[in-house]
Amino acid sequence: MSLATRRFMRLIVFFDLPTVTKAEKRAYTLFRRFLLNDGYDMLQWSVYGRVVNGLDAEKKHLNRLEANLPPAGSVRSLTVTEKQFASMKMLVGKPKIQEKKLNSNQILLF
């Protein structure tokens, strides 16, 4: 795939999971660990995002996400282009180190 045909996007996952019982806490922990191990970075509490390279990669990661969903709660996903993600405005607080703006030539995909 040439640089001209690459379409980097961000897959963002939002979730609200119950954490009242011991089983719910375990499900929350397992889901959060899955996200971190699958390459997601925490943007804020219960909001995680990762870079995907094209529609095929988006579909692959959505399938992996669906296979690891917790039994209860609310989980949503949103895919935006890298340009749309870069136009996000920080209203309060400071960006994390992981949010440093990178151009598509600086992103490493394995």
In a domain, 92, yes or no: no
Domain span including residue 19: 3-87
Does pTM surpass 0.95? Answer: no
User: What is the tally of structural domains in the chain?
Assistant: 1
- What is the distance between the alpha carbons of residues 105 and 110, in angstroms, rounded to a whole number? 14
Give the CA count within 13 Å in the CB-facing half-sphere of 104. 16
Give the CA count within 13 Å in the CB-facing half-sphere of 99. 15
CATH at residue 34: 3.30.70.240
Give the CA count within 13 Å in the CB-facing half-sphere of 84. 11
Q: What is the pLDDT of residues 79-102, one digit of tens each?
A: 999 999 989 888 888 777 766 655
Instruction: Give CA angle at 47 (44, 50), nearest 5°.
Output: 105
Q: What is the pLDDT of residues 12-21, one digit of tens each?
A: 999 999 999 9
In a domain, 99, yes or no: no
pLDDT value of position 101: 57
